[in-house]
Structure 1
Amino acid sequence: MKLALHWQILIALILAVVMGTWSGVEGSIFGVHWLAVYTFIGTLFLNALKMIVVPLVMSAIITGIANIGDSGGFGRLGGKTLGYYVMTSFIAIIIGLTMVNLIQPGVSDNPAPQLVNDASVSAAVEGKSAGDVIEVFLRMIPTNIVDAAAQGQMLGLIFFSLLFGFFMTKIQGEGAQTLKNFWQGVFDVMMLMTSLIMKFAPIGVFGLVAASVAKTGFEQFDNLALFFVTVAGALLIHFAVVMPLILRFIGGVKNPWLHYQAMLPALLTAFSTSSSSATLPVTMNALEHRAGVSNRVSSFVLPLGATVNMDGTALYECVAAIFIAQLFGVPLDLGTQLLIVLIALTTSIGVAGIPSASLVAISIILVAVGLPAEAIGLLLVVDRILDMMRTTVNVFSDSVGAVVIAKLEGEQHVLVTKHF
Structure 2
Amino acid sequence: MTNKPSSSLTTRIVIAMIAGISVGSFLQWLMPDQSDVVVPLYLFDLSIRGLLVDGVFEVVGKVFVASLQMLVVPLVFVSLICGTCSLKDTTKLGRIGGKAIALYLITTAVAISFAMSLALFISPGEGVNMVANTTFESREAPSLAQVLIQMFPSNPFQAFAQGNMLQVIVFALLFGISIALSGKAGERVASLFEDFSVVIMRLVTVLMNIAPYGVFCLLAGLFTDVSIETFGNLIKYFLVVFVALVLHATVTYPVLLKALTGLNPLIFLRKMRNTAIFAFSTSSSNATLPITMETATKKMGVKNSIASFTVPLGATINMDGTAIMQGVATVFIAQVFNVDLTLSDYLMVILTATLASIGTAGVPGVGLIMLAMVLDQVGLPVEGIGLIIGVDRLLDMTRTAVNVTGDSMVTLIVGKSENQFDEEVYNDLNAGQKIEDIDFSDLKHN
Q: TM-score range by the shorter chain?
A: 0.5 to 0.7
CA distance in 1, matches of 2:163, 2:130: 29
Distance 1:74 1:176, change over 3 A: same
Q: How does 1:199-218 map to 2 (within 5 A)?
A: 199=212, 200-213=214-227, 216=230
Query: Is the Cα contact below 8 Å between 1:27 and 1:35 reproduced in 2?
Result: no
Give the one of 223, 243, 246 matched to 1:229: 243
CA distance in 2, matches of 1:39, 1:324: 33
CA distance in 1, matches of 2:190, 2:210: 30
Match of 1:138 in 2: 149
The letter for the 2-side match of 1:134 is: A
Give 1:91 deviation, angstroms.
1.9
| Structure 2 residues not aligned, in runs of 5+ | 1-5, 39-44, 277-291, 334-348, 373-384, 420-446
Distance 1:227 1:324, change over 3 A: closer
Distance 1:77 1:93, change over 3 A: same
| Structure 1 residues not aligned, in runs of 5+ | 113-119, 248-258, 285-300, 348-361, 407-420
Match of 2:24 in 1: 16
The letter for the 2-side match of 1:45 is: G
Give 1:74 deviation, angstroms.
3.4
Give the one of 77, 81, 103 matched to 1:62: 77
CA offsets 1:149-168 (integer angstroms, 9 cap, x no match): 55554443443344344434
Give 1:231 deviation, angstroms.
1.8
CA distance in 1, matches of 2:210, 2:329: 26
Match of 2:107 in 1: 92
Q: How does 1:266-345 map to 2 (within 5 A)?
A: 266-267=267-268, 269-270=270-271, 277=294, 301-304=302-305, 308-309=309-310, 314-319=318-323, 322=326, 338=355, 340-341=357-358
Same amino acid, percent of matched pairs: 13
TM-score (norm 2): 0.56
Give 1:138 deviation, angstroms.
3.2
Query: Is the Cα contact below 8 Å between 2:37 and 2:49 reproduced in 1?
Result: yes
CA distance in 1, matches of 2:67, 2:202: 13
CA distance in 1, matches of 2:65, 2:331: 22
The letter for the 2-side match of 1:132 is: S
CA distance in 2, matches of 1:134, 1:281: 38
Distance 1:304 1:103, change over 3 A: farther
Match of 1:169 in 2: 180
Query: Is the Cα contact below 8 Å between 2:319 and 2:357 reproduced in 1?
Result: no
Distance 1:45 1:184, change over 3 A: same
Give 1:207 deviation, angstroms.
0.7
Give the one of 29, 53, 61 matched to 1:45: 61
Alignment length, in residue pairs? 346
User: Alignment RMSD, CA only?
Assistant: 5.3
CA offsets 1:121-153 (integer angstroms, 9 cap, x no match): 944x41xx3243223323323444455555554
Q: How does 1:338-357 map to 2 (within 5 A)?
A: 338=355, 340-341=357-358
Give 1:379 deviation, angstroms.
3.6
Instruction: Report the 3-state secondary structure (helix = DSSP H, G, I; strand = E; otherwise coil) of the residue aligned with 1:6.
Output: helix
Distance 1:404 1:142, change over 3 A: closer
CA distance in 1, matches of 2:109, 2:17: 30
Give 1:5 deviation, angstroms.
0.6
Query: Is the Cα contact below 8 Å between 1:139 and 1:156 reproduced in 2?
Result: yes
Between 268-277 and 162-171, the greater mean CA deviation after superposition: 268-277
TM-score (norm 1): 0.59
CA distance in 1, matches of 2:158, 2:83: 29
Instruction: Report the 3-state secondary structure (helix = DSSP H, G, I; strand = E; otherwise coil) of the residue aligned with 1:28.
Output: coil
Query: Is the Cα contact below 8 Å between 1:209 and 1:378 reproduced in 2?
Result: no
Distance 1:22 1:270, change over 3 A: same
